[in-house]
Amino acid sequence: MIHGWIIVDKPLGMSSAHVVAQIKRLFKIKKAGHGGTLDPLATGVLPIAIGEATKTLSYVLDGKKAYRFEVKWGEARSTDDQEGEITATSDKKPTAEEIQKSLPYFRGTIEQTPPAYSALKINGKRAYALAREGKEVILKSRFVTIDHLTLIKTTFDSAVFEVQCSKGTYVRSLARDLAVHMGTYGHIISLRRLMAGPFLEQNAILLDSLLKIGHKTELMKHVLPLQEALADILALEVQDIEAVKLRQGQTIPVTLQEKEDVVLVLCRGVPQALAKAGEGKITPLRVFNIEER
């Protein structure tokens, strides 16, 4: 079994689920999942968890994300990107100075309403499915955090930005709301993810490049260890007998006195479990079944 992460540079026009299916076929595996959906019209960092690494997916999903995106001014679209129908137009094209003055209003904790064409569920059905059926989609606004929002360049009718944001942020909504704030309309014409949790653009490999490799030994060079997704949490090394107990769901004593929400437990460098530590003991939360090589 293979356990770890493949960081794919997702191609334009392909769904995240299709990328996962391609990776499964390539590595001849059954267990895989992605760390945060990218729309078909988006490119960039798509972390794929393989084997026992799927148990760490939530740590990537909950992590910060970063994107580069381009907004075309003067048109509102039903999907808030170039795929949708035009719903409103404006002759106003904001200047670089106007954009810079507006950016502070979209930094920090802000309130935004997700796009109608999103994967959020309403009464058990995806919002985009309801929207495509012509039904009214009413989504609740939510608070998200924008750590950084920077103007990269401008043209006559568009502008390129980079943003670092919290889980649950919709960049399409950010672009739409920024345009409205400046008295015009806007929609995204390109979107690229630069970071997903601990994984960066420079970690990613093009899907086509992976598919051309074919040889499993060469493919394995692109598999990152399971613990790469857990770089920000404390790691504890335990003895063999303690590792066995943890994998059986038992609590074990530890000298660590500080309370930690989650720690990564290793035995001879091999991940054993995600656990809760404190008050002189470790309690397993998720156990990994990884054979030592």
Catalytic residues: 39
Structure tokens at 61: 């999903």
Q: Which residues pair with 283 in a beta bridge?
A: 276
Residue (of 197, 177, 173) closest to 185 by Cα position: 177
Distance, CA of 293 to CA of 282 (rounded, Å): 25
Report the side by side order of strands in the sheet with 235-237: 235-237, 260-267, 270-278, 281-287, 252-253
DSSP string, 76-108: EETTSBTTS-EEEE-S----HHHHHHHGGGGSE
The tally of CA atoms less than 13 A away on the side-chain side of residue 64 is 13
